């Protein structure tokens, strides 16, 4: 029974109530977050019927409504873009799915005050095997004064973020976000179609005993990371080692679990990915903002992810994120040993 959720606050009620906390409070950000949550519900519905592909039609085929079935990441991208366009608070979007920024209108008088960076369906290769996926989003206030928005609106460090969040499509779907006043998590109650406040003021435990990394690339990691991983595997009763390795392959899901239970997620540089794999604007920054707001840390090895100044919308960055003491420990190893992967 999840009746207790019905008596609690919905996301819409919560963001309206919190409007006064926003740095620029005119209601636009409230509407923008609400647009995101509407698209999230639609994507949740589609992700949940992914297993019915034989019944509903495969990608590229026509479904019973005569629509061509889209790949879910394309579908999610279109849903979020449509919701943001309809809302009118955003002048431009940067998406993992699109090489260039997307202008919401061609009008030179577009007055959308915000830009959104997003990964509409992160970990989408996991869908076919019924594994959790997620949407990640970051909201900046535009820096240009008017017009349809330009690339400089996006090239702001994470310290300038107005909001960051993610939706996890898992055993239940959740929306977790921050506007810089702590982190709150909302669970979708499908029976009423509302995200309900289930995780108020989330805090990441300062320590944990889970580490998440694609250890298959061990030989390709920098020496500092190799040394840290050996540290995670050593026996030590006092610090609860060896730790457990948990790697889903969906960053949102790995991050979410670590935030609840305590843990560390690492995607360092490798020989074949000398800047790491994950994208600064729409994967690392929003999660780094949430991690810090929940009392955790996010670093690229020697400094905060949030301080990295982007040079392009699809920039990559190595990331170490999660429980503060675990991240500090990994940083110690990187500073002591090489941070560069050598072949
Ligand atoms: P994607 O945006 O193409 O889905 O890739 C991002 C995903 C992350 O969710 C995950 O942590 C990582 O890529 C896994 O990569 P790897 O298979 O190299 O471990
Ligand atoms: Mg991704």
Nearest CA to ligand 1 atom 2: 122
Q: What is the pLDDT of residue 130?
A: 85
The Å distance, Cα 96 to ligand 2 centre, comes to 7
Any ligand 1 atom below 6 A from CB of 246 = no
Q: Report the percent of the chain where pLDDT is more than 70.
A: 87
Task: Give the residue, out of 131, 225, 267, 269, with the most ligand 1 atoms within 8 A of its beta carbon, to mutate for a pocket test.
Answer: 267
Any ligand 1 atom below 6 A from CB of 214 = yes
Angle between helix axes 28-48 and 72-87 (nearest 10 degrees) is: 160
Give the residue from 110, 119, 118 showing the smallest Cα distance to 89. 110
pTM greater than the 0.95 cutoff? no
Q: Which ligand 1 atom sits closest to the C-alpha of 122?
A: 4
Q: What is the pLDDT of residue 1?
A: 46
Residue that wins the pLDDT comparison between 156 and 104 = 156
What does the DSSP 8-state code read for residue 149?
-
Say if residues 226 and 192 touch (Cβ distance below 8 Å): no
Strand partners, 276: 274
Tell me the pairing of strands 297-299 and 210-212: unpaired
Q: What is the pLDDT of residue 238?
A: 93
Dump strand ranges (E) for 172-284. Answer: 173-178, 183-189, 194-199, 210-212, 244-245, 264-267
Angle between helix axes 285-293 and 251-261 (nearest 10 degrees) is: 10
236: left (phi over 0), alpha (psi -120 to 50) or beta: beta
The Å distance, Cα 251 to ligand 1 centre, comes to 7
Residue 239: pLDDT over 70? yes
Mean per-residue pLDDT, 28-40: 92
Residue that wins the pLDDT comparison between 72 and 64 = 72
Contacts of 64 (CB under 8 A, 6+ apart): 56, 57
What confidence category does residue 25 fall into, taking pLDDT thresholds of 50, 70 and 90? low
Domains identified in the chain and CATH numbers: 11-199 (3.30.540.10), 210-337 (3.40.190.80)
The Å distance, Cα 213 to ligand 1 centre, comes to 11
What does the DSSP 8-state code read for residue 70?
P
How high is the mean pLDDT of the chain?
Answer: 90
């Amino acid at each position: 029974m999840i009746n207790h959720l019905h008596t609690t606050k919905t996301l819409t009620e919560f963001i309206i109530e919190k409007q006064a906390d926003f740095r620029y409070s005119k209601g636009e950000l409230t509407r923008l977050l609400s647009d995101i949550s509407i698209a999230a519900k639609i994507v949740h519905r589609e992700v949940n019927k992914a297993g019915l592909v034989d019944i509903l039609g495969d990608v590229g085929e026509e479904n019973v409504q005569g629509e061509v079935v889209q790949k879910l990441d394309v579908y999610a991208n279109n849903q979020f873009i449509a919701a943001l366009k309809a809302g009118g608070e955003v002048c431009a979007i940067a998406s993992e799915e699109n090489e260039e920024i997307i202008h919401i209108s061609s009008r030179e008088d577009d007055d959308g005050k915000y830009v959104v960076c997003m990964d509409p369906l992160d970990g989408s290769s996991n869908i076919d095997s019924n594994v959790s996926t997620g949407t990640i989003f970051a909201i900046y206030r535009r820096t240009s004064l008017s017009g349809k928005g330009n690339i400089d609106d996006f090239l702001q460090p994470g310290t300038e973020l107005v909001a960051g969040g993610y939706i996890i499509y898992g055993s239940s779907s959740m929306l977790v976000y921050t506007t810089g006043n702590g982190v709150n998590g909302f669970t979708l109650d499908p029976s009423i179609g509302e995200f309900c406040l289930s995780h108020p003021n989330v805090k990441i435990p300062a320590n944990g005993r889970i580490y998440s990394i694609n250890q298959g690339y061990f030989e390709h990691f920098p020496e500092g990371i190799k040394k840290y991983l050996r540290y995670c595997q050593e026996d030590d009763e006092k610090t609860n080692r060896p730790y457990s390795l948990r790697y889903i392959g969906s960053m949102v899901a790995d991050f979410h679990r670590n935030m609840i239970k305590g843990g560390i997620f690492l995607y360092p540089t490798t020989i074949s990915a000398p800047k790491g794999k994950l994208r600064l604007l729409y994967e690392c920054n929003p999660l780094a903002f949430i991690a810090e707001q929940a009392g955790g840390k996010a670093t690229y090895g020697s400094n905060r992810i949030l301080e990295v100044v982007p040079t392009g919308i699809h920039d990559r960055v190595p990331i170490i994120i999660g429980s503060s003491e675990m991240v500090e420990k990994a940083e110690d190893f990187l500073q002591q040993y090489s941070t560069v992967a050598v072949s």
